[in-house]
Structure 1
């Protein structure tokens, strides 16, 4: 069985097939569950366990088709390199932003300097991925909206152009 999370409809259809149920029954079951009732288990685990108790366990193993929220210029790079950590991705992003900002004057301070200083350290973050496309696009807090500029792009652009970053379109 495949849990296809490519979009809302494919996710819903997959879940209905996995649990061999109807949309009405699944909706009723999900509305009856309080995923935050346990302080010991994450909400997703509570939802799954209680849904299995009511609807029965899936008959087969589940595999997942997922969306990782990539914001790459060249999709073939994603196929070759996979999802990168921030430091690995920076090697591609920074030179491209320098090229794009060539000839532009910088003025003022970086509006993201506090954000950058909060990210300093020996740790490397990522790779990041989202199981559900909607989380990447609708970005419930504290996730960054993948339709907006990536934080790393904002940080680097602010370093290159300072406050000029916000006056380009004016």
Structure 2
């Protein structure tokens, strides 16, 4: 039984090679021996998606992997610079009041603080999305990406950029602008810091996790950014992540998020 670690390109290659029982170089060579784009352009008889094709190809070349039972998952957010997540990573229904308290306490002036405080009760923000997220369990998470680097390419991969603004904060800013005509987005971008919380949890769908990790490895050995094949996540379905399961809390500067990835 193995833990899948896609915190970096090198770690992804290392843990995958450990699972396959081969060297990192052997795995690299197998990945480089395949040109998926060309195969799909020339062979229109293929009836599986590219992630499955890649997994089956690698397994044919290297044999089946050992069982990946757990993984490191990466939750993006924007929060106070001194937030250590000692109490863990809370499901959205539990985090709602903490998020509102944070926004109230960090309000740019007394007038905004008073108006936000008037919304500081369960589902109290006059925004449809805010109320949907806080009352419907399917939105409570917590969520996380298997591949850390996905958070650095959210726009290209059509993912929500949680490190810019978490959805609840965005909803509050939208509601405030609509109700009071003032955009608070710039203020909260300044006072909150982008953050990636790494936690360890079980893998529910091993094939999907393996395919995403291999897709990430495939682009990594070609020195390319991750593509959509590496997008794979976890949904905790309203069960918070305990503090003991938190592996790392990483604050990242904006230029590192949106700049070139080395």
> TM-score higher than 0.5 here?
yes
User: In the alignment, which residue of structure 2 is the partner of 1:76?
Assistant: 85
Alpha-carbon distance in 2 for matches of 1:134, 1:100: 29
Structure 2 equivalent of residue 143 of structure 1: 159
- 1:24 aligned residue (29, 37, 46): 29
The alpha carbon displacement at 1:133 in A equals 0.4
User: Alignment length, in residue pairs?
Assistant: 152
Query: Normalising to structure 2: TM-score of the pair?
Result: 0.48
Measure the CA separation in 1 of the matches of 2:3 and 2:75. Answer: 20
Inter-partner Cα distance in structure 1 for 2:39 and 2:84: 40
Aligned partner of 1:112 in structure 2 is none
Gaps of 5+ in 2: 41-45, 113-126, 191-262
1:51 counterpart = 2:66:
no
Query: Contact 2:170/2:185 (CA < 8 Å) preserved in 1?
Result: no
Bigger Cα displacement from structure 2, 63-72 vs 18-27: 63-72
2: CA distance, partners of 1:129 / 1:66: 9
Give the Cα–Cα distance (whole angstroms) in 2 for the partners of residues 167 and 13 of structure 1: 40
The one-character-per-residue Cα deviations of 1:134-156 (angstroms, maximum 9, x if unpaired) are 12221244311233121211222
Rate the CA distance shift 1:84–1:30 in 2: closer, same or farther, 3 A. farther
Checking the alignment, whether the CA contact within 8 Å between 1:16 and 1:23 is kept in structure 2 is no
* 1:90 paired residue among 86, 91, 96: 96
Higher RCO (CA < 8 A, seq sep 6+) = 2
Q: Structure 1: which 4+ aligned runs deviate by more than 3 Å?
A: 29-34, 42-47, 118-122, 157-162, 166-169
Structure with the bigger percentage of strand: 2
CA distance in 1, matches of 2:84, 2:10: 24
3-state DSSP of counterpart to 1:5: coil
Q: Which runs of 5+ in 1 are unaligned?
A: 107-115
TM-superposed CA distance for 1:84, in Å, is 2.8
| Pair 1:133–1:167, CA change in 2 (3 A) | closer
Corresponding residue for 1:123?
136
**Is structure 2 residue 95 aligned with structure 1 residue 66?**
no
Q: In structure 1, how many angstroms separate the alpha carbons of the residues matched to 2:110 and 2:35?
A: 53
